[in-house]
């Protein structure tokens, strides 16, 4: 299937590992020009190097912290200047830490808000003028299946990521006339370093072996396994492609059937 | 994007025109052996010829069948499995919009809608599942409509039947996951199709296609400012039944140009 991504410029946040990295890689494989950012320089350069080697594609890598307004502004501006255009942004930043409600302070809430909500807001606000100039664009927010069914022990994520859904739906309507399509992808249990860390925290909290927790978490999924970062990337890249030209304002889970609700 | 569909076998109900035909074409182009059914033989023959010509002689099987009639959907599936030796994909697409004033919809009209859309899908799925199990897995796509998520006044019986289709999709996805059979629903908005053409031509005062589209966009409030194309829906379906969507099940995905108001 020709996705029509050749030559398109895509910005991927949080791209040094997990779903971000898999997404940047797949865009590059499809012929897109990729700008990627992450907080840690070493991890970012390793990921960018791997993608260049695998695809021979043009990759522009910048150290940027998705929780900082000035970093986001710089990432978008420099990427658009480097490539001369901007077509697609994939809003992805690490998630807030797990924990129960009563242990979190205002500072924890504020940090989560900056990292997981304002990052999407700022990235989009910076990108829209460039997309308007290009005659259209795509915004894909990587959120979590928790926005459809909140997960125990993840109150920061459940609350803050849900705000992104409200933002996205509003944007899908406001920006439709600019032909900017906005969609959310909600990963369920995907095999990434973050997922492993969350399981480790869970194992410590419940005082049970990590391997047992891992097995249990996989067994709870109807498809009996964790998804791969590449599978999440496939959906994200499809939504950003020319083939998804009538899809906007949606919130799509990739969860192996985990969510219970019909919507 | 390589969809990994070569040699797979797909059965598509309502496959002689509109979304069904576009899907058959899209899948055949990916190397799928397609089987289509519809009530009338002439449009079926035309569809087969069109698919063969567009794909340099792809294998296409067609059978005149009315899936609203008990036993017919099962007969179609049986013939497909016999002809191709396997069945991997089922697209439950047969259906027409039936909208009216509730108090004026009699039992017969309810039954007709339920027989076509709900029972058609139930019977075809029930017949297809054993073949999919033998193949080690499969994909079922139930075509529904965003009206099922936001039923309007005078939207019955269709909105009710389609909502049932969404629930069935979720329940089936849970029940069949262990067999590797993934079940999703594609909820369409307003898509260009034979039924809209027929409606336009049946008007007392004729209007152009463009005017019909303008009126629909304004009346229903479609953010993208146009109605969708069958090919756009076919691309989403092709992605969902592909190897790249192996972790997506139990999802109800809107393709509606932003029409649906609900998140």
In a domain, A178, yes or no: yes
In a domain, A2, yes or no: no
In a domain, A215, yes or no: no
Chain A partners within 8 Å of B223 (Cβ): 172-173, 176-177, 248-249
**Nearest CB to A1: which of B30, B229, B248?**
B30
Q: Is the ipTM of this complex over 0.85?
A: yes
**What total of structural domains would you count in chain B?**
1
Residues of chain B short of pLDDT 70, as ranges, are none
pLDDT value, residue A263: 79
In a domain, A136, yes or no: yes
Distance from CA of B25 to the nearest CA of A (A): 12
Question: Does B101 reach chain A within 8 Å, measured CB to CB?
Answer: no
Burial class (CB in 10 A: 0-12, 13-18, 19+), A215: exposed
Residue B40 lies in domain: 9-191+228-253
In a domain, B71, yes or no: yes
In a domain, A197, yes or no: no
pLDDT value, residue B196: 84
pLDDT value, residue B31: 96
Residue B76: which CATH number? 3.40.50.720
Chain B partners within 8 Å of A263 (Cβ): 149, 166, 252, 262
DSSP B85: S
pLDDT in single tens digits along all 263 residues of chain A: 999 999 999 999 999 999 999 999 999 999 999 999 999 999 999 999 999 999 999 899 999 999 999 999 999 999 999 999 999 999 999 889 999 999 999 999 999 999 999 999 999 999 999 999 999 999 999 999 999 999 999 999 999 999 999 999 999 999 999 999 999 999 999 999 989 988 998 899 899 999 999 999 999 999 999 999 999 999 999 999 999 999 999 999 999 999 999 97
Question: Does A32 reach chain B within 8 Å, measured CB to CB?
Answer: no
**What total of structural domains would you count in chain A?**
1
- Tens-place pLDDT, residues B144-183: 999 999 999 999 999 999 999 999 999 999 999 999 999 9
In a domain, B215, yes or no: no
In a domain, A213, yes or no: no
Question: Does A191 reach chain B within 8 Å, measured CB to CB?
Answer: no
pLDDT value, residue B97: 87
pLDDT value, residue B225: 97
In a domain, B206, yes or no: no
Selection from B97, B192, B110, B183 nearest residue B145 by Cα: B97
Question: Does B79 reach chain A within 8 Å, measured CB to CB?
Answer: no
Q: Is B244 in contact with A222 (Cβ distance < 8 A)?
A: no
Question: Does A180 reach chain B within 8 Å, measured CB to CB?
Answer: no
Residue A67: which CATH number? 3.40.50.720
pLDDT value, residue A79: 98
**Claim: this prediction has a pTM higher than 0.95:** yes
In a domain, A28, yes or no: yes
What is the 3-class SS of chain A, one letter each residue? CCCCCCCCEEEECCCCCHHHHHHHHHHHHCCCEEEEEECCHHHHHHHHHHHHHHHCCCEEEEECCCCCHHHHHHHHHHHHHHHCCCCEEEECCCCCCCECHHHCCHHHHHHHHHHHHHHHHHHHHHHHHHHHHCCCEEEEEECCHHHCCCCCCEHHHHHHHHHHHHHHHHHHHHCHHHCEEEEEEEECCEECHHHHHHHHHHHHHHCCCHHHHHHHHHHCCCCCCCEEHHHHHHHHHHHHCHHHCCCCCCEEEECCCCCCCCC
Residue A53 lies in domain: 9-190+228-254
In a domain, B98, yes or no: yes
């Amino acid at each position: 299937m020709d996705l029509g991504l050749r030559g398109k410029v895509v910005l991927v946040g949080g791209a040094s590992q997990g779903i971000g990295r898999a997404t940047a890689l797949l865009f590059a494989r499809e012929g897109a020009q990729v700008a990627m950012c992450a907080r840690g320089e070493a991890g970012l350069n390793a990921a960018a190097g791997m993608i260049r080697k695998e695809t021979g594609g043009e990759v522009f890598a910048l150290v940027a912290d998705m929780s900082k307004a000035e970093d986001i502004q710089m990432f978008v501006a420099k990427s658009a200047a480097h490539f001369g255009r901007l077509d697609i942004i994939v809003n992805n930043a690490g998630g807030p830490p797990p924990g129960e409600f009563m242990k979190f302070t205002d500072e924890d809430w504020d940090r989560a808000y900056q990292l997981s909500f304002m990052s999407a807001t700022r990235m989009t606000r910076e990108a829209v003028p460039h997309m308007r100039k290009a005659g259209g664009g795509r915004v894909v927010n990587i959120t979590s299946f928790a926005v459809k069914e909140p997960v125990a022990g993840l109150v920061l994520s459940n609350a803050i990521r849900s705000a992104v859904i409200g933002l996205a739906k509003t944007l899908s309507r406001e920006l439709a006339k600019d032909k900017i399509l906005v969609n959310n992808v909600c990963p369920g249990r995907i095999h990434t370093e973050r997922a492993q860390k969350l399981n480790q925290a869970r194992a410590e909290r419940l005082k049970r072996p990590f391997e047992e927790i891992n097995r249990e978490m996989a067994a709870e999924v109807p498809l009996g396994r964790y998804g791969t970062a590449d599978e999440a990337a496939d959906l994200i890249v499809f939504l950003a492609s020319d083939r998804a030209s009538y899809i906007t304002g949606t919130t799509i889970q990739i969860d192996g059937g985990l969510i219970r609700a019909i919507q | 994007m390589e969809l990994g569909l070569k040699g797979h076998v797909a059965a598509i109900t309502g496959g002689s025109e509109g979304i069904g035909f576009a899907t058959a074409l899209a899948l055949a182009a990916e190397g799928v052996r397609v089987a289509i059914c519809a009530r009338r033989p002439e449009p079926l023959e035309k569809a087969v010829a069109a698919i063969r010509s567009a794909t340099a002689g792809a294998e296409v099987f067609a059978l005149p069948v009315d899936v609203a009639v008990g036993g017919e959907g099962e007969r179609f599936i049986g013939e497909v499995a016999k002809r191709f030796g396997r069945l991997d994909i089922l697209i439950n697409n047969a259906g027409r919009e039936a909208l009216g004033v509730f108090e004026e919809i009699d039992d017969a009209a309810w039954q007709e809608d339920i027989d076509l859309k709900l029972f058609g899908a139930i019977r075809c799925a029930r017949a297809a599942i054993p073949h999919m199990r033998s193949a080690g897995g499969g994909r079922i796509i139930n075509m529904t409509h965003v009206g099922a998520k936001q039923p309007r006044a005078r939207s019955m019986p269709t909105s009710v039947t389609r909502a049932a289709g969404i629930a069935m999709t979720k329940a089936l996805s849970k029940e069949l996951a262990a067999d590797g059979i993934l079940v999703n629903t594609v909820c369409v908005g307003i898509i260009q199709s034979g039924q809209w053409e027929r409606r336009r031509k049946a008007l007392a005062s004729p209007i152009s296609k463009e005017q019909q589209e303008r009126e629909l966009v304004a009346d229903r409030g479609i953010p993208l400012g146009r109605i969708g194309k069958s090919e756009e829906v076919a691309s989403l379906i092709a992605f969902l039944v592909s190897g790249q969507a192996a972790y997506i099940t139990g999802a109800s995905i809107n393709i509606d140009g932003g029409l649906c108001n609900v998140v």
